[in-house]
Amino acid sequence: MKQSDFTSVGFFHFGTDHEHPIPALRSAIDEFKGRGGILKDALIVLPEGFNLKRYYGDDDDTANFDTAILDDLARASESAACAFVAGLIIADTPGVDPPYNSAYLIDGHQRIQLLARKTGEDHTVSGSPYRNYCNYTPHSSFKSEVVCYRGVVVAALV
């Protein structure tokens, strides 16, 4: 059995500064490294709706669905020498509005792979007078890829 190429697994708790996801992630990475932490060859999980540029439960329609977050995360991955599994709601499927809620494996620009699509609703509508839709469009069927990558099996369930 091949040993994993990943040295550790962790997660990014995105509790503040939702308007600036990449700078907040970079700041957390710098802080972690400043305390002596090592991210080289780590796998880091980023939360659902990481890219929205607002708090997930906000009752407004200011969400950012730009696919450019994939390149931003690929650059951050290369810079920190780690990989991410990221929960993103991005406009990656023409004609789907709001976009699907998905999970991606991102390891620099060498690997950006869709892992899963969420099928259930998040019930963020719940009678809000400001919005008549939820944060994403639920996918019509179960979509989940399990991949063997760098010596481990990687999967996501959103």
145 inside domain = yes
Please tell me the predicted confidence (pLDDT) of residue 44.
97
Residues 75 and 73: their CA atoms lie apart, in Å, by 5
Q: What is the DSSP letter of 57?
A: T
Residues 151 and 10: their CA atoms lie apart, in Å, by 17
37 inside domain = yes
2 inside domain = no
Residues 88 and 69: their CA atoms lie apart, in Å, by 9
Q: How many CB atoms lie within 10 A of CB 107?
A: 21
97 inside domain = yes
92 inside domain = yes
Please tell me the predicted confidence (pLDDT) of residue 74.
98
Q: What is the CATH number of the domain that holds 150?
A: 3.60.110.10
Please tell me the predicted confidence (pLDDT) of residue 139.
94
* Range in 44-48, 58-62, 64-68, 136-140 the model is least confident about: 58-62
Mean pLDDT along residues 101-121: 95
Residues 151 and 83: their CA atoms lie apart, in Å, by 13
Give me the domain span that covers residue 116. 8-154
150 inside domain = yes
1 inside domain = no
Residues 57 and 23: their CA atoms lie apart, in Å, by 21
110 inside domain = yes
The yes-or-no verdict on residue 24 having pLDDT over 70 is yes
What is the band of 148 on the pLDDT scale with cuts at 50, 70, 90? very high
Count of the separate structural domains present in the chain? 1
